[in-house]
Structure 1
Amino acid sequence: MGVPRRQAPACVKEETPSALLKYREDELGALRGDGETTERPFQPWDRVYDYALYNDLGNPDLRQDLARPVLGGSQEYPYPRRTKTGRPAAKTDPRSESRAPLDEEIYVPCDERVGFASIPAPTLPPLGGHFRSLADVYRLFGLDDLGRLPEAKAVINSGAPFPVVPQVISVNPTHWRKDEEFARQMIAGANPVCIKRVTKFPLASELDRGVFGDQDSKITKDHVEKNMGGMTVQQAVEEGRLYVVDHHDWVMPYLKRINELPASEEKAEVSQRKVYAARTLLFLDGEDSSMLRPLAIELSSPHPEKEQLGAVSTVYTPPDSGDDGITAGRFSTWELAKVYASANDAAENNFVTHWLNTHASMEPIVIAANRQLSVLHPIHRLLKPHFRKTLHINAVARQIIVGSGDQRKDGSVFRGIDEVTYFPSKYNMEMSSKAYKAWNFTDLALPNDLIKRGLAKGDPKKPETVELAIKDYPYAVDGLDMWAAIKKWVADYCAIYYADDGAVARDSELQGWWSEVRNVGHGDLADAPWWPAMDCVADLVETCATVVWLSSAYHASISFGQYDYLGFVPNGPSITTRPVPGPDAGAEVTESDFLASVTPVTEALGFMSIASGPMGLKGTEVYLGQRPDTEQWTRERRAAEALAEFRARLEEVAGNIDRRNADPALKNRTGQVEVPYTLLKPTAQPGLVLRGIPNSITV
């Protein structure tokens, strides 16, 4: 048995022994590809980290309708950079990179390939229409026609084989229909980061009136005050009782094109779309002002004659009876409006809060770290566990998930999974690019995010002082616990190596890393005023804490709930396909018509195959606070002690979450569906319920 290899002590370049300095510099030069004199495709054994534009999403050489715009490097389509592969240009479009065949791995530096060689492109059945009844959907998960299973309450903690029952129907299979549950998922569901406090009413659009006309909300006081218990809108705004989930401005510019899908070439590959831009207005209700209720949903379309004439909007409100009771086999137009709003939320969750804010935005940070920070550098050692698998999974995603399509060996065309299963289809990554214009790294630190959305007040630098506007906001409450633990760990670690602000400013590798992140990896936003200067310890700690947060806890909270809340497509469809009937919210809709309006069968199966990916991590993932190289990762005793303290704090966070979930006064913790909120629980547990936060972005 060999003797375990000990790591050399961590040190900055300026403190490296002179005899080792050249080796340190040569290693970084090799990783940057210094000395490469010709353009060539990188090989699987190469270890070169370099940047490229997102010019490999389309496949113009296969079919012109599969061409996609280049993302990054322009004002029209700004975007983070991805890993360079060196592949040659497409034959029909020199601006685009040729696609790798489906059976060939896309290049990533060999050090980044961890755990799996590739993910095969799934084969979905031909487009085959919609579910005819809820019983059809229930049967996918081995439930009876009413969604029941004798051991239903145990299913979420069982080792049952796939397909696992999505948590949203695992205990109460019909309570996803309740208004209270619909609202709760805005703060404890798959996408709990889009809700904002309303500070001005009526709601206004920021779209250019010269291009899109009047896009302001048509929700009026008369629509909502009837369900506010005698409170006026103005009172609700002043008291912080009015909230909105507003996807209108992100969806509307693409709505006309989306609703014209599929084009003739795509009819056998992409289903019909009928989508609206949605705004959902909510009221903070209950004796302790902690329960949200939906007041109105506005569904908008472009003017049929000319987009410059503004939006055509319909406002839906709950039935006057206030009864959101569930009638088997019958739905209302209000319930249809809810799922059409949920489809907006599912798309923004996937392409903005998930893909853009974590996968795409983290990739250039990983590339720059490997190019500029030696493996001896203390910040490289701090962040390395949070980079694991990210470049690899992003390469796989460009090949089979977010790309347009490729040809199989049998001659058939494989369409990118997201283009088939989400309503934006061919426009999904373009829309992600438009969202990137407003991307702000510093705002993604949790306290900053909550304060910006009006969900909290206080000093963002002191998370323990942050006061939440919605006291029972599971994502925020658990998240602030996690953020505080992460930041304390990062601060303790950085204090070992940086005694003062001057030590940060003098660290040439650190400065090179952060300059490259800003000016190259995120070069399209390099001139934004919010970038940390990286000239003091506070900047270093906040930046590293944000990187750790985004790659671990934040990613888990907005990715790992997709299957459990959206895998049951009637709760959160990724596609809508029919016009919604008029504004009579009480009008009845048959069960078959309701299901014919949301994600069809084939697309639902495709969505489930991807969204269930995190379940395959059990037993293979490295979780927050863990390091496979625990005995060798540092010789610094204080660093090892700081890591041990971090692990202890994570155990405390897990215990706090368990106690909150068991508190019946905190109704948003489990909601009508009676499923505890565990997406931010840091410790892993047996079973397929998603508990445990991986160190890095791995799915």
Structure 2
Amino acid sequence: MSSSQAMGVYKLKVAAGKDLTAGTYNNIFIVLVGVNGESGKHQLPRQWNNYLPGSVAVIDINVEKDLGELLLVRVSMEPYLNFPLDAWFCQYVSVTCPSGQINQFPFYQWISKFMTVEIPEGKGIILSENIHLAIEQQRKVELEQTRENHKWRVYAKGVPHCIDVADDEVQHLPPNDQFSLLKESSFGFNTLTIELETKLRGFTCKTDSWQNIQDIKKVSSLHRSQISDLVCEIWKEDQFFGSQYLNGLNPILIKKCFRIPKKFPVNEQMVAPSVGASTNLEKELQNGHIFLADYKILDKVPANNSINGNQQYLAAPMCLLWKNQDQLVPIAIQLSQTPGDDAPIFLPSDSEFDWLLAKIWVRNSDLQVHEIDTHLLRTHLLPEVFSVATIRQLPMAHPVYKLLMPHLRFTLETNTLLRKQVIGPKGFFDQAFAVGNGGIPILMKKAMDGLTYSSLCLPDNIESRGMETIPNYFYRDDGMKIWLAMESFVSNIVNYYYSSDEMVSQDPELQAWVAEIFKEGFLEYKTSEIPSSLESIGSLIKYLTMVIFTCSAQHAAVNSGQFDFYSWMPNGPTSMKCPPPTAKGVTTMPDILKALPDVNTTATGIATVWLLSKEPQDRLRSSSLQKPLGDYTNVRFTEKTPQHLIKEFQDKLAKISKSTQERNMAVRLPYPYLDPTCIENSVSV
């Protein structure tokens, strides 16, 4: 570009955010910075509509010298008269140069102090030796500021670290990590609504047991869904019980079993009535038709003793399942990790109530493991680690930052609220769940011991459990389609910015990011096999796919259906008031009702799962309530190739959504949770 082309009038557009509080009455100043120098300091015109939410202010800057290639814009917020500080959300600055070239400076952040920020030009840049000094300095200052605002703290010994904000001080989170006003209002409204409804119906005052199992419908029907109504009808069926290991809320526990564990002494005679005369247990084991769900992680975890002042109980059961043609059905249950006369093996051929109570106990155990390990640890605490590490180690111009930020949106406030309201002292878990506040850190620590890289990568997870070919495994089928589409998208983005393995291994910001996740999230557990560094393009692609899948699709798979499956309490009792049965032939329906949660505990449990699976609104009511997977409304990638790759990814997701919806129309129990239109882009609930 010649000097004459670089000098003249630069036309700027400055876009404010659309949130109701995104505007400001403070003064905004802008400086253009190029390779050859800076412009003067220019104030955004004080026209009233330049300071409203959603406004795009226009300003012309006359520059009498050659700035050369634009590198960044320097934006300052300063006081207006004696008005108090008023935060401003800047979406982007767009600059049209005298030559007609347009430069985009995406920001999408709050400026909440009287301060100056530097916004780099929108091209993704990897730190290298030939980077301009102004850009290098901007990145250094940016990361110094974010590290000051985002510090780590130990939440509980032996579990991933979290952001250093007290759990009752959401307002002290950095502004960019807080909910939008609409989302915050919606979240509060949801909480108030469900609590008010249960109180008005009188359920929260009733501390006695249920007298009739059908009466539970009175509280489970406060809110309803098509699937929750169906679950209420079919919850006793063995086929439905088995199907939940494939398409329920905890679809990553079950494993193919080739040898019966010694601690679970199931023999041929026991299961013969179930598998029939044409085959036998040994043959079915060899054919790969036997599966095991082992809840050993719950062994010796202390149970809650504060629900209505009464001791609650936990079991660590084992459940053997058999693939009967296209159906998975339970054929044996032991409610202890230690066999013996007081730990009978329950069978479908036992009395109706013996078998039903055994299955209820397994469902209770599955709920505890699901909520603390599969849901909380893997899809809340790890995304928080990904979020804090990304903000601390990757500047906004880094392509990995641009790729990940839509998938980290609102995770920090979501988790801060969760630690206070759900798993904190006197929170929902203390009020209604067998694993209360005292047992959660212990169970999470045990879950950490089993957390591996392969278990977080869907293809590896499926293969390691021997679940590649079992039919009607919609979690696997839908999840693999999404994983492969995601992997292809990530691969294309990575290959656009990294031309060699050496570029990956020598990217200091990327390596610092991976190392911090390994240290703060996985506590440097080498047994996890989580990478502490990345040495190749292939390893980076797999790692980023894992991060995005965890923060979006995996969270949806284990979160969105909570109300559907747990609102009918007997299918997912949050707690049990009596110890597991130690003998057969003595259980009656009154015994089952006595063991199930009290009326008020049931109401609190249902309210909890409704809130956990209810996405708070954060956009206008006429809009969708979600930012679904693949929504990149905030244009962080400004180059044409990444924008084309995003559109290609969105098209693939649309095809997956169509096939998923067509499949769901043809099955008795639909599985909508991995329909891309139903997957939130990030952990924001």
TM-score bracket, normalised by the shorter chain, equals 0.7 to 0.9
Any stretches of 5+ residues in structure 1 without a counterpart? 34-47, 55-70, 73-77, 88-98, 143-162, 205-215, 304-309, 322-330, 405-414, 456-467, 664-669, 684-691
CA–CA separation in structure 1 for the residues paired with 2:490 and 2:646:
9
Q: Structure 1 residues 320, 577: CA separation in 2 closer, same or farther (over 3 Å shift)?
A: closer
After TM superposition, give the deviation of residue 527 of structure 1 in Å: 6.8
- SS of corresponding position for 1:652: helix
How do 1:255-270 residues align onto structure 2 when only pairs under 5 Å count? 257-258=302-303, 262=305, 266=306, 268=308, 270=309
Aligned match of 1:111 in 161, 176, 185? 176
Q: Could you list the per-position Cα deviations for residues 272-315 of structure 1 after superposition, in whole angstroms to 9, with x for gaps in the alignment?
A: 313322111100012xxx21111011112779xxxxxx894221
After TM superposition, give the deviation of residue 634 of structure 1 in Å: 1.7
Aligned match of 2:253 in 176, 194, 202? 194
Larger radius of gyration: 2
After TM superposition, give the deviation of residue 529 of structure 1 in Å: 4.0
Asked if 1:661 is matched to 2:664, the reply is yes
After TM superposition, give the deviation of residue 498 of structure 1 in Å: 0.8
Moved more, 598-607 or 504-513: 598-607
What does residue 371 of structure 1 align with?
A: 392
What does residue 431 of structure 1 align with?
A: 443
Q: Could you list the per-position Cα deviations for residues 440-486 of structure 1 after superposition, in whole angstroms to 9, with x for gaps in the alignment?
A: 1343110011111111xxxxxxxxxxxx2203211111111111111
CA–CA separation in structure 2 for the residues paired with 1:633 and 1:547:
18
After TM superposition, give the deviation of residue 127 of structure 1 in Å: 5.8
What does residue 126 of structure 2 align with?
A: 12
Any stretches of 5+ residues in structure 2 without a counterpart? 1-55, 59-91, 94-103, 107-121, 618-623
Asked if 1:283 is matched to 2:304, the reply is no
How do 1:413-562 residues align onto structure 2 when only pairs under 5 Å count? 415-425=426-436, 426-455=438-467, 468-525=468-525, 528-531=528-531, 533-562=533-562
The residue type paired with residue 24 of structure 1 is: R
The residue type paired with residue 633 of structure 2 is: P
CA–CA separation in structure 2 for the residues paired with 1:434 and 1:107:
31
What does residue 649 of structure 1 align with?
A: 652
Q: Judge conservation of contact 2:264–2:337 (CA < 8 Å) in 1.
A: no
Q: Could you list the per-position Cα deviations for residues 393-436 of structure 1 after superposition, in whole angstroms to 9, with x for gaps in the alignment?
A: 111111121112xxxxxxxxxx1211222112221222111110
- SS of corresponding position for 1:539: helix
CA–CA separation in structure 2 for the residues paired with 1:336 and 1:24:
60
Q: Judge conservation of contact 1:252–1:302 (CA < 8 Å) in 2.
A: no
Aligned match of 2:609 in 594, 601, 611? 611
Q: TM-score if structure 1 supplies the norm length? A: 0.74
CA–CA separation in structure 2 for the residues paired with 1:236 and 1:523:
41
CA–CA separation in structure 2 for the residues paired with 1:28 and 1:493:
23
After TM superposition, give the deviation of residue 387 of structure 1 in Å: 0.5
Asked if 1:31 is matched to 2:146, the reply is yes
Aligned identity (percent) is 24
Aligned match of 1:299 in 335, 338, 348? 335
The residue type paired with residue 83 of structure 1 is: I
CA–CA separation in structure 1 for the residues paired with 2:247 and 2:638:
41
Asked if 1:135 is matched to 2:190, the reply is no
After TM superposition, give the deviation of residue 218 of structure 1 in Å: 3.1
Q: Structure 1 residues 127, 164: CA separation in 2 closer, same or farther (over 3 Å shift)?
A: closer
Q: TM-score if structure 2 supplies the norm length? A: 0.75
Q: Could you list the per-position Cα deviations for residues 616-659 of structure 1 after superposition, in whole angstroms to 9, with x for gaps in the alignment?
A: 44633211011221xx3222111011110111111111122123
What does residue 388 of structure 1 align with?
A: 409
Q: Judge conservation of contact 1:423–1:576 (CA < 8 Å) in 2.
A: yes
Q: Structure 1 residues 432, 494: CA separation in 2 closer, same or farther (over 3 Å shift)?
A: same
- SS of corresponding position for 1:225: helix
After TM superposition, give the deviation of residue 582 of structure 1 in Å: 5.6
What does residue 679 of structure 1 align with?
A: 673
The residue type paired with residue 599 of structure 1 is: P
CA–CA separation in structure 1 for the residues paired with 2:172 and 2:135:
31
Q: Judge conservation of contact 1:168–1:176 (CA < 8 Å) in 2.
A: no
The residue type paired with residue 57 of structure 2 is: G
CA–CA separation in structure 2 for the residues paired with 1:485 and 1:84:
35
CA–CA separation in structure 1 for the residues paired with 2:365 and 2:444:
13
What does residue 312 of structure 2 align with?
A: 273
Q: Judge conservation of contact 2:453–2:528 (CA < 8 Å) in 1.
A: no
What does residue 20 of structure 2 align with?
A: none
If each structure's strand is expressed as a fraction of its own residues, which one has the higher value?
2
The residue type paired with residue 417 of structure 1 is: F
- SS of corresponding position for 1:243: strand
What does residue 315 of structure 1 align with?
A: 345
The residue type paired with residue 531 of structure 2 is: W
Aligned match of 1:232 in 280, 283, 306? 280
Q: Could you list the per-position Cα deviations for residues 32-59 of structure 1 after superposition, in whole angstroms to 9, with x for gaps in the alignment?
A: 12xxxxxxxxxxxxxx1111101xxxxx
Q: Judge conservation of contact 2:238–2:330 (CA < 8 Å) in 1.
A: yes
Q: RMSD of the alignment, in Å?
A: 2.4
What does residue 84 of structure 1 align with?
A: 164
Q: Structure 1 residues 545, 559: CA separation in 2 closer, same or farther (over 3 Å shift)?
A: same
Q: Structure 1 residues 222, 527: CA separation in 2 closer, same or farther (over 3 Å shift)?
A: closer
Aligned match of 1:397 in 392, 409, 418? 418
CA–CA separation in structure 2 for the residues paired with 1:589 and 1:83:
49
CA–CA separation in structure 2 for the residues paired with 1:185 and 1:546:
24
Q: Structure 1 residues 246, 167: CA separation in 2 closer, same or farther (over 3 Å shift)?
A: farther
Give the number of the structure with larger relative contact order, counting CA–CA contacts within 8 Å between residues 6 or more apart: 1
After TM superposition, give the deviation of residue 509 of structure 1 in Å: 0.8
Asked if 1:222 is matched to 2:269, the reply is yes
CA–CA separation in structure 2 for the residues paired with 1:167 and 1:525:
43
After TM superposition, give the deviation of residue 111 of structure 1 in Å: 1.1
